[in-house]
Amino acid sequence: TQLLEQSPQFLSIQEGENLTVYCNSSSVFSSLQWYRQEPGEGPVLLVTVVTGGEVKKLKRLTFQFGDARKDSSLHITAAQPGDTGLYLCAGDFSSSNTGKLIFGQGTTLQVKP
Amino acid sequence: GAVVSQHPSRVICKSGTSVKIECRSLDFQATTMFWYRQFPKKSLMLMATSNEGSKATYEQGVEKDKFLINHASLTLSTLTVTSAHPEDSSFYICSAYRGLAGPYNEQFFGPGTRLTVL
């Protein structure tokens, strides 16, 4: 059974601080997605990483995929209150295109003004 | 693109009644749709995988007779919570998957349905 360990599960920081969220597995991902969810809404896709060592940037968010494709990280620079939400990583472990994803436990981020 | 709608957004029902939730992919055909349940401040829990024209595949521990899934077309899947009880109260979210038409294994989520059973 593939597991995706996401940490930390809760994070409360002040506006302007930096933070990193980690997503780890003992298995290799075919791809990994990061989603952000606000209360009462569905998750919104932020990025997909596919290639080992890949780095993608989305404004103040930087996403990295480990060389071995077993881990990923999300780094937010100069966090703002608008970044508050639940961040989810989700991995595709299958070599066939089933669409099924394994989700991490989620990281609840609170950015205080 | 990749918009998924869900209806209703909120529903309150009496214990013992059945509730149907619709999930639609508005601008693409979804080979597969997924149904999740989410508890407050927790991650998504996959309930079942729904493929058009075939029976849904349920995750371990999910009662298929209680959570009926129908995938009538490539753009519509429904989840019916039968004989709902207060413990079924939760946030239900669907997602749609484009399959090989998409470059990656990405799911696009609906806005969710808040079910409250009195």
Query: In this model, does residue B88 exceed pLDDT 70?
Result: yes
CA separation for the pair B35, B30 (Å, rounded)? 13
CA separation for the pair B36, B43 (Å, rounded)? 10
Residue type, A40: G
pLDDT at position B1, please?
A: 61
Contact check, Cβ <8 Å, B104/A31: yes
Contact check, Cβ <8 Å, A31/B6: no
Closest CA in chain A for residue B4: A42
Contact check, Cβ <8 Å, B41/A86: yes
Average pLDDT score over chain B: 91
Q: How many CB atoms are located within 10 Å of the residue A1 CB?
A: 5
Contact check, Cβ <8 Å, B4/A42: yes
Chain A interface includes B102 (CB < 8 A): no
Structure tokens at A43: 């998750």
Q: Are A51 and A100 in contact (CB under 8 A)?
A: no
| Among A9, A17, A106, A23, residue whose Cα is nearest residue A60 | A17
Higher pLDDT, B10 or A99: B10
Contact check, Cβ <8 Å, A42/B105: no
Question: Which residues in B lie closer than 8 A to residue A29 (C-beta atoms)?
Answer: none
CA distance B12 to chain A (A): 15
Q: How many CB atoms are located within 10 Å of the residue A89 CB?
A: 32
Residue type, A113: P
Residue-wise pLDDT tens for chain A (113 aa)?
668 999 999 999 999 999 999 999 988 888 899 999 998 999 999 999 989 999 999 999 999 999 999 999 999 999 999 999 999 999 887 766 677 888 999 999 999 99
